[in-house]
Amino acid sequence: MQQYLLSKFCFPLRDNNDYCRYFQSRMAETKFRAFGFGILIALFIIYYLLFHETQVKPTIIFMNKNTSSERKTSHMYSFVINEKLVPNFISKIFDKAQLPASCLVIIRTTDGGIGNRMFLFASAYGFARLHQCDLYAAPWIVKDLRSIFTIHLNETPVHLVTNDSVANQTGVYGRYSACTLFDDLLKIPLDPNLIRYEMIGFYQAFGYFIKYKEEISYLFQFNQFATKNNVPLVEQLLKGLFPLITIHFAHVKIRIKNK
């Protein structure tokens, strides 16, 4: 096609072969430049896809109302070096022992299995996170959760209180819930009658923590012990499942062929 166009163009200019050759050389030069430009774009795309996620990224520092307003240096982390990775949505807290929080959330009794305790803990975290409250979780609850999950509360804006005496002080308002979402717990500012609040029961309503679902997912990452014990089991299950999948597809192919 290109040769045809060149021939049609050069036909009226047979008496001026120099101009025709000049035009052809310019076309070749333009084609070469376009090719080189395309190569550069392709290399840039490949570099972006392969190496973009290895760049060092900053993590935003959370500054709550009880901390100093002074801006501190951002914590940096890398995907290349084998370091502990801190996601962007998790904020680094420096010196949490600031002025006391204006409210306290308490969980110390829970029934059922690990799933019920996960719900209760997630709801308490969401409530404390929303109102910038301290969180008191009975040591046995934290220990039970940490037998499976990381629960790195020290890397979140919520301060975990470990002093048992704070939960035994007067003025604590407790309320039982199975799956009820109490709207008054989500109103800002918090009702002064609820500033020392104990969650009793299950609190299986995602409305308490849906706003911080990514932080909850970070807290409920499997720890090394759980991963080490369960990976062989998952691999064994997959090995047993693969032949079943193969047999199933074989039957499907036979049915299709018979039709």
Domain boundaries, the chain: 2-52, 100-221, 225-259
Instruction: Report the alpha-carbon distance of residue 147 to residue 124 in Å, rounded.
Output: 19
Read off the pLDDT of residues 207-224 as tens digits, 9 standing for 90 and up. Answer: 999 999 999 999 999 998
Read off the pLDDT of residues 83-116 as tens digits, 9 standing for 90 and up. Answer: 344 555 454 444 444 456 789 999 999 888 999 9
* pTM check: above 0.95: no
pLDDT at 56 over 70: no
Weakest mean pLDDT among 121-130, 225-234, 235-244? 235-244
A 10 A CB-CB count for 129 gives 21
* Cα 12–chain centre separation: 67
Read off the tokens for 52.
């973009």
Instruction: Report the alpha-carbon distance of residue 160 to residue 183 in Å, rounded.
Output: 24
- The arithmetic mean of pLDDT across residues 221-246, rounded, is 78
Mean pLDDT of the chain: 74
- The arithmetic mean of pLDDT across residues 178-182, rounded, is 94
pLDDT at 148: 93
pLDDT band at 235; cut points 50, 70, 90: confident
pLDDT at 18 over 70: no
